[in-house]
Structure 1
């Protein structure tokens, strides 16, 4: 996901599949090539909280974490960031529109609000 490191993205993937989860729960569900320490996952979750990607609630002595947004909202936010950093968002959108499948084009058409026609010429 745009704006996240590899481990942060893996943690978010775990949380998008099941939540709320505590650090140990996330650690048990993470599929990484190397064994991670509890403190590593705790630091990643703390960083994600600081960045606004997750919310947390204290349950006893440990925090329980949930995504602050859905995967789809995060993808839309990433797209917005790409457009903002492109230098020419209009050109990027035009290239995207040309590459969209017929299904994607139809979804875009249906989701955009229709402008009301003025009754005055």
Structure 2
């Protein structure tokens, strides 16, 4: 899975948060203030995300509306799997990850593993 650029990640956050299909104009209007962005820039970003397989789109009148192909959690899980696959020793990488968890996150992970059962 290709890593998202900063603006791509920002656009994906808007799509994940919206919970509905958004046009380029709607995405542009929901982006946090900061620096001004052009409509064509957001249109290009959304087209790139479509080409990379991160979003789907359909025509709505003369424009497209876009939505995320995966939820935020599924995207994060895939990114983690890709990182583990390319990181050499999966066990060592997992151990370093687990060592960084808070006690609450560790307990939640333990409960999820117990819930999933043996694999």
Gapped regions of structure 1 (runs ≥ 5): 117-121
Structure 1 stretch displaced more, 75-84 or 5-14: 75-84
Shift of 1:32: 5.0
Tell me how many residue pairs correspond in the alignment: 115
Q: What is the alpha-carbon distance in structure 1 between the residues aligned to residue 8 and residue 51 of structure 2?
A: 12
Match of 1:7 in 2: 7
CA distance in 1 between partners of 2:48 and 2:15 (Å): 15
Q: CA deviation at 1:102?
A: 2.5
| Aligned residue in 2 for 1:16 | 16
Q: Does 1:58 align with 2:59?
A: yes
Match of 1:80 in 2: 81
The runs of at least 4 aligned residues of structure 1 exceeding 4 Å deviation read none
In the alignment, the residues of structure 2 paired with residue 59 and residue 40 of structure 1 have an alpha-carbon distance, to the nearest angstrom, of 20
Q: Out of 27-36 and 69-78, give the one that drifted further.
A: 27-36
- Structure that is richer in helix per residue: 2
Whose Rg is larger? 1
Shift of 1:46: 0.5
Q: TM-score, normalised by structure 2?
A: 0.85
Partner of 1:70: 71
Aligned residue runs from structure 1 range 85-100, under 5 A: 85-100=86-101
Q: Where in structure 2 are there 5+ consecutive unaligned residues?
A: none
